């Protein structure tokens, strides 16, 4: 595989940028990195790979992106945390054009393997009403009632992958990511997810010497969070696997309430803040956790980096960004 062309779509973003870095580390010599954003706004950029700025919602751009490719990772999407996906459902759904056109182009040029980054947002709403939820199994996506907008797009695109495999023989792999965090991700601008948002808010309070923090919801809602290194390892293991031919959970089983997440960040920062709960803010489901029986069975592996360890690295990176005045706002504005 080392001398075959690997294409990473969404390479200017959080997970795509880390994937390119990891492929370079492994000695891959032919990598094409593609994103909508101008190069100077990519979160990580490597000059020794082919970097293309393309709008992958168009078929012609997708043809350019996958030309001569052996493997394609599709990590491109117009998305964000709850603050973005609850208020931009049409933009989230337009991302369907990216995966649709990439699959069409990949089929035309005979791509060997195609990876699609799906989400825990495909899971049915009625299975996520209780914060004490034990875990979502893969079959809990059906009967379908996913997150409005973003989740429907993900579920539809998963099925598109399946049918391109069944009808056209294009090998596809689909991972359902559960909230991924780490350095080089979005931490401001409106698309950030809870781990980065809480770090930013705690750091800003610490630097300003203020005492309050705003938390969306009651703080009792639960999630699990996966550190980027686990995400990279799992993504590539799923892509390489001979028999993971169906969508599979890629997430941590370490479920915490948002209050517990804030406890961790406060303890890293060495401060305690007064929490103001905003019950009108975007909240999403009451409880969500990954259930990893299937990935343990298929790979003999599952994400294992503790939330405390991952958050220490994430906090340190966001602290440096804020101190240096950097912004990681990833707004793409294409509609």
Q: Which residues bind ligand GDD (CB under 6 A)?
A: 79, 81-83, 85, 119-121, 150, 177-179, 192-194, 197, 215-217, 221, 223, 258, 281-284
Q: Does 13 bind ligand NAD (CB under 6 A)?
A: yes
Restricting to residues 138-197, which ones interact with ligand NAD according to CB under 6 A? 177, 179-180, 186, 193
Q: Which is nearer to ligand GDD, 12 or 287 (CB)?
A: 287
Q: Which span sits near ligand NAD by CB under 6 A: 49-57, 209-217, 235-243, 257-265?
A: 49-57
Q: Does 307 bind ligand NAD (CB under 6 A)?
A: no
Q: Is 134 buried (19+), middle (13-18) or exposed (0-12) by CB count in 10 A?
A: exposed
Q: Does 14 bind ligand NAD (CB under 6 A)?
A: yes
Q: Does 252 bind ligand NAD (CB under 6 A)?
A: no
Annotated catalytic residue 150: yes
Q: Give the x/- contact pattern for ligand NAD in 253-292, rule: CB under 6 A.
A: ----------------------------------------
DSSP per residue, 125-140: GGGSS-TT---B-GGG
Q: How far apart are CA 180 and CA 220, in angstroms?
A: 20
- Residue 282: contacted member of ligand NAD, ligand GDD, none (CB under 5 to 8 Å, by partner type): ligand GDD
Compute the C-alpha angle 192/46/227, nearest 5°.
40
Q: How far apart are CA 291 and CA 163, in angstroms?
A: 25
- Residue 37: contacted member of ligand NAD, ligand GDD, none (CB under 5 to 8 Å, by partner type): ligand NAD
Q: Given candidates 5, 31, 33, 79, which one binds ligand NAD under the rule CB under 6 A?
A: 79
Catalytic residue among 73, 116, 150, 177: 150
Q: Does 37 bind ligand NAD (CB under 6 A)?
A: yes
- Residue 197: contacted member of ligand NAD, ligand GDD, none (CB under 5 to 8 Å, by partner type): ligand GDD
Q: Which is nearer to ligand GDD, 40 or 280 (CB)?
A: 280
Q: Which residue pairs, CB below 8 angstroms and at least 24 apart, start in 278-282? A: 278/214, 278/215, 278/216, 278/217, 279/217, 279/218, 281/83, 281/214, 281/216, 281/217, 282/82, 282/83, 282/85, 282/86, 282/87, 282/216
Q: How far apart are CA 53 and CA 34, in angstroms?
A: 6
Q: Which is nearer to ligand GDD, 281 or 334 (CB)?
A: 281
- Least Cα distance to 232 among 141, 167, 303, 320 occurs for 303
Instruction: Report the run of H or E that residue 213 belongs to, with start and end.
Output: strand 212-216
Q: Which span sits near ligand NAD by CB under 6 A: 77-85, 131-139, 260-268, 285-293?
A: 77-85
In contact, 234 and 303? CB cutoff 8 Å: yes
In contact, 100 and 170? CB cutoff 8 Å: no
């Amino acid at each position: 595989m080392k001398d075959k062309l690997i294409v990473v779509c969404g390479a200017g973003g959080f997970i795509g940028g880390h994937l390119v870095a990891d492929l370079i580390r492994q000695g891959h010599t032919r990598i094409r990195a593609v994103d909508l954003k101008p190069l100077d706004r990519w979160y990580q950029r490597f000059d020794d790979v082919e970097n293309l700025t393309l709008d992958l919602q168009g078929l012609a751009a997708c043809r350019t992106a996958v030309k001569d490719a052996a493997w394609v990772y599709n990590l491109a999407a117009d998305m964000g945390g709850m603050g973005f996906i609850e208020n931009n459902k049409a933009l989230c759904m337009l991302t369907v054009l990216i995966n649709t056109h990439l699959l069409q182009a990949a089929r035309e040029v005979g791509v060997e393997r195609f990876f699609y980054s799906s989400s825990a947002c495909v899971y049915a709403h009625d299975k996520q009403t209780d914060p004490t939820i034990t875990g979502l199994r893969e079959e809990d996506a059906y009967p379908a009632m996913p997150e409005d907008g973003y989740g429907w797009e993900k579920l539809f695109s998963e099925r598109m992958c399946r049918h391109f495999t069944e009808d056209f023989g294009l090998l596809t792999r689909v991972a359902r990511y559960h909230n991924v965090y780490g350095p080089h991700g979005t931490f401001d601008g409106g698309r950030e997810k809870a781990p980065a948002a809480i770090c930013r808010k705690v750091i800003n309070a610490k630097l300003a010497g203020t005492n309050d923090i705003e938390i969306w919801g009651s703080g009792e809602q639960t999630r699990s969070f996966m550190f980027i290194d686990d995400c990279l390892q799992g993504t590539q293991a799923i892509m390489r696997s001979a028999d993971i031919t169906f969508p599979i959970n890629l997430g941590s089983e370490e479920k915490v309430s948002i209050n517990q997440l804030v406890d961790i960040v406060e303890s890293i920062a060495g401060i305690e803040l007064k929490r103001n709960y905003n019950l009108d803010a975007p909240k999403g489901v009451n409880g969500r956790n990954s259930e990893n029986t299937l990935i343990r069975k298929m790979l003999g592996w599952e994400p294992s980096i503790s939330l405390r360890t991952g958050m220490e690295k994430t906090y340190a990176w966001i602290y440096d960004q804020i101190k240096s005045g950097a912004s990681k706002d990833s707004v793409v504005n294409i509609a």
